[in-house]
Amino acid sequence: MSTTETDKGREQEELGAAGSRLSTAPQEEAVSLPGLGVIGWARWFWRQLTSMRVALLLLLLLSLGAIPGSLIPQTGADATKVDAFRAAHKTLAPVYDKLGLFHVYSSVWFSAIYILLFVSLIGCIVPRTWQFVGQLRGRPPGAPRRLDRLPAYTTWRTEADPEQVREAALALVRRRRFRAHVAGDAVAAEKGYVRELGNLVFHIALIVLLVAFASGQMYKSDGTKLMVEGDGFSNALPMYDDFKSGSLFTTDDLSPFSFSLKDFKGTYELTGPNRGTPRTFQAKVAYSEGADGKERSTTVKVNEPLKIGEAKVYLVSHGYAPVITVRDGKGEVVYQDAVPLLPLDGNVTSQGVIKVMDGYRDAQGKKDQLGVRAFFLPTYGGGASVLSQFPALLNPVLNLEPYHGDLGVNSGIPQSVYQLDKTHMKGFKDAQGRQLRGNLKPGQTLKLPDGAGSITLEKDVKEWAGFEIVQEPGGGWALVGALGAIFGLAASLFIQRRRVWVRAVRGADGVTVVEMAGLGRSESAKLPEELGDLAANLYDRAPGAPDPDDSTPSPAGPAEGAEK
């Protein structure tokens, strides 16, 4: 049900100034046509923008606008999914592209909504703050003419003097921490200003939150690094595998530090229906802060990043890096390294390529290049199974598929280290003339045909860990904003702002008539309770007098509202 205009008008008339300024919420004004000229229009536009109605609409738009980003793949979250979507929806994708639906949260229209909302917010906060300061400096408004029209009301007759009653009432409400003063024949008191303060703090905190977030985005840096056990890293741009940064970031902003991966350990559920589910991932690292700080060691876990200076180092992925030794036709070691392989499934079936670019000579002593496709099963299930049965190293097997020829690494086209371009490569053949394949256990060697050399899987299978190194300033401010928002909200929603008036007037028969009334802005059952409590207290100081025999209403004010 909505309050009709006439109701409002009547209420206004009855309460007068007493009901005003109980909040700093802007009045909804009737939509009047703007005055002439640019300034008139600008003022009209500004009024509209900062009205509660438009704030509400913008909020609704913001929530609607956030929906597509959760249903359509986003480049920021998963670029490969976006590519797949593009391939699958040939007609829809260009339309989505035009609308920015693959990056909703940085699209023009989404930005427009929240920028407008925040302009509206600032345009709302500033005048409300001034108004609030004004209310704090002023005094609670005097009692309305007819107290019995207020939401909570009580009255009684007493022998006490009106002045005494007013004094007692003033002392009483002041003790209850009302701001109060005597205005004419009544005490005016008000309490709960923290509600308004909380509301303003909440809305200001939203701005702090947004500014912190936006500046964080602009100054942030975010890169990844894959490290095999034993590898080291120092925080400089060339060391990263992959690096993104905000528009105002400069390389000088990178915190100086270095760390190395000593050991990675993953544990998994060994039995039960969830056999193989990861339990813990831990990376032991040694790190030092600054150019030549003292080395310290620590453990990085999934939920426990390493914090160094401005940066945080997160453990984000892991896998195996078998150590491979390649000998050439003359039996010389031409390659020995741990080769990180990419996991394909939950049981860490992994895939990768061993590339031997120079130094290798075939049986005839001719220069050649080797490319070996590698599949690794940390737990080989036996038989023809090509998938690992468990993520830990229970029965590791490396499957190799060697090729030789031109790897194409010098062709200028960037190449993934995990993929083999076979266009200029020839496979080694086994005795039957088929592609040579070999399954190696740790310590075993695959001989290449015709004395072309050998590939050995060393006993020690290393693990690698992927780290993400993030620097995002402004986190502290964001937290301040968030806490401010919560406390502001709590104050704004739990505290009632209310006014109480106590009027004491001598009636025609010489007996004092006390009237008390309360007015709150929000819907609460507490208001009558509080008023009753105050009344009971005051009643003790100004006890009731017997009713006059004739029940003519006293001229001071209609006591008709009192229940006998």
Partner 1 sequence: MNLAAATNEHLASISNTLIYSSMAVYTLAFFAYIAEWLFGSRSKVGRTAAALTATAAGGGERRAGAPAVTVKSAGGTAVLERPKVVVRSASGARDVPDGPGAHGGDEQGDLYGRIAISLTVLAFLVELSGVVARAASVERAPWGNMYEFNITFSTVAVGVYLTLLALRKNVRWLGLFLITTVLLDLGLAVTVLYTASDQLVPALHSYWLYIHVSTAIFCGAVFYVGAVATILYLFKDSYENKLESGGTPGRFARSVLERLPASASLDKFAYRVNAAVFPLWTFTIIAGAIWAGDAWGRYWNWDPKETWSFITWIAYACYLHARATAGWKGRKAAYLALIAFGCWLFNYYGVNIFVTGKHSYAGV
Residues in a beta bridge with 312:
307, 470
Residues in a beta bridge with 226:
466
Q: In the complex with partner 1, which residue's Cβ is closer, 346 or 449?
A: 346
Q: Which stretch binds ligand HEM (CB under 6 A): 52-60, 67-75, 97-105, 531-539?
A: 52-60
Residue 260 binds to ligand HEM (criterion: CB under 6 A): no
Q: Cβ 14 to ligand HEM, closest distance in Å?
A: 21
Residue 444 binds to ligand HEM (criterion: CB under 6 A): no
Q: In the complex with partner 1, which residue's Cβ is closer, 327 or 498?
A: 498
What are the residues whose beta carbons fall under 8 Å from the beta carbon of 11, sequence distance 6 or more? Answer: 19
Number of neighbours of residue 148 by Cβ within 10 angstroms: 17
Q: At what angle do helices 108-137 and 52-71 cross, to 10 degrees?
A: 150
Q: Which stretch binds ligand HEM (CB under 6 A): 49-57, 299-307, 458-466, 553-561?
A: 49-57
Q: What count of residues does the chain have?
A: 564
Residue nearest to ligand HEM (CB): 124
Residue 498 binds to ligand HEM (criterion: CB under 6 A): no
Q: In the complex with ligand HEM, which residue's Cβ is closer, 462 or 497?
A: 497
Q: In the complex with ligand HEM, which residue's Cβ is closer, 3 or 432?
A: 3
Give the type of residue at 27.
Q
CA angle 290, 296, 300 (to 5 degrees): 100
Q: Which stretch binds ligand HEM (CB under 6 A): 118-126, 243-251, 315-323, 532-540?
A: 118-126
Q: Cβ 13 to partner 1, closest distance in Å?
A: 11
Q: 123-152: which residues touch ligand HEM (CB under 6 A)?
A: 124
Q: In the complex with partner 1, which residue's Cβ is closer, 329 or 481?
A: 481
Q: In the complex with ligand HEM, which residue's Cβ is closer, 131 or 288?
A: 131
Q: Cβ 178 to ligand HEM, closest distance in Å?
A: 20
Q: Which of these, 16, 43, 303, lies nearest to 143 by C-alpha position?
A: 16
Pick from ligand HEM, partner 1, none: which does 333 bind, CB < 5 to 8 A by kind? none
Residue of 386, 493, 508, 536 interacting with ligand HEM (CB under 6 A): 493
Q: Cβ 281 to partner 1, closest distance in Å?
A: 5
Q: Which stretch binds ligand HEM (CB under 6 A): 120-128, 284-292, 360-368, 511-519?
A: 120-128
What are the structure tokens assigned to 507, written together?
Answer: 């009636």
Place of tokens 């003292």: 294
Beta strands in 330-452 (DSSP E): 333-338, 342-343, 350-356, 369-377, 397-405, 425-427, 438-440, 445-447
Q: Can you tell me the distance from the alpha carbon of 368 to that of 357, in angstroms, rounded to the nearest whole number? A: 8
How many residues line the site for ligand HEM (CB under 6 A)?
A: 15
* Beta strand 445-447 pairing with 438-440: unpaired
What are the residues whose beta carbons fall under 8 Å from the beta carbon of 86, sequence distance 6 or more? Answer: 93
What are the structure tokens assigned to 202, written together?
Answer: 């909440």
Q: Cβ 52 to ligand HEM, closest distance in Å?
A: 5
Q: Can you tell me the distance from the alpha carbon of 172 to that of 533, in angstroms, rounded to the nearest whole number? A: 11
Residue 166 binds to ligand HEM (criterion: CB under 6 A): no
Q: At what angle do helices 193-219 and 108-137 cross, to 10 degrees?
A: 150
Place of tokens 């194409």: 408
Terminal-residue alpha carbon distance, the chain: 33
Q: Assess contact for 402 and 455: CB atoms under 8 A.
A: yes
Q: Assess contact for 563 and 153: CB atoms under 8 A.
A: no
Pick from ligand HEM, partner 1, none: which does 120 bind, CB < 5 to 8 A by kind? ligand HEM
Q: 450-479: which residues touch ligand HEM (CB under 6 A)?
A: none
Q: 181-210: which residues touch ligand HEM (CB under 6 A)?
A: 199, 203, 206
- The DSSP string of 394-409 is SB-EEEEEEEEE---T
Supply the DSSP symbol for 463: E
Q: Cβ 118 to ligand HEM, closest distance in Å?
A: 6
**What H or E segment, with its residue span, contains residue 529?**
helix 526-541
Q: Cβ 174 to partner 1, closest distance in Å?
A: 20
Pick from ligand HEM, partner 1, none: which does 97 bind, CB < 5 to 8 A by kind? none
Q: In the complex with partner 1, which residue's Cβ is closer, 279 or 459?
A: 279
* Helices marked H in 146-191: 162-175
Q: Cβ 192 to partner 1, closest distance in Å?
A: 15
Pick from partner 1, ligand HEM, none: which does 124 bind, CB < 5 to 8 A by kind? ligand HEM
Q: In the complex with partner 1, which residue's Cβ is closer, 312 or 355?
A: 312
Pick from ligand HEM, partner 1, none: which does 500 bind, CB < 5 to 8 A by kind? none
Q: Which stretch binds ligand HEM (CB under 6 A): 2-10, 47-55, 133-141, 223-231?
A: 47-55
Kindly state the greatest CA–CA separation across the chain: 132
Q: Can you tell me the distance from the alpha carbon of 455 to that of 449, in angstroms, rounded to the nearest whole number? A: 11
Q: In the complex with ligand HEM, which residue's Cβ is closer, 333 or 493?
A: 493
Q: In the complex with partner 1, which residue's Cβ is closer, 277 or 552?
A: 277
Contacts by residues 307-310 (CB-CB < 8 Å, ≥ 24 positions apart): 308/255, 308/257, 308/259, 309/255, 309/256, 309/257, 310/253, 310/255, 310/471, 310/473
Residue of 31, 39, 42, 59 interacting with ligand HEM (CB under 6 A): 59
Kindly tell me the sign of the dihedral angle through the C-alpha atoms of 412, 418, 419, 424.
Answer: positive
Pick from ligand HEM, partner 1, none: which does 151 bind, CB < 5 to 8 A by kind? partner 1
Q: Which of these, 238, 248, 219, lies nearest to 311 by C-alpha position?
A: 219
Residue 496 binds to ligand HEM (criterion: CB under 6 A): no
Residue 497 binds to ligand HEM (criterion: CB under 6 A): no
Residue 55 binds to ligand HEM (criterion: CB under 6 A): yes
Q: In the complex with partner 1, which residue's Cβ is closer, 2 or 91?
A: 2
Residues in a beta bridge with 315:
467
Contacting positions for ligand HEM (CB under 6 A): 23, 25, 50, 52, 55, 59, 117, 120-121, 124, 199, 203, 206, 492-493
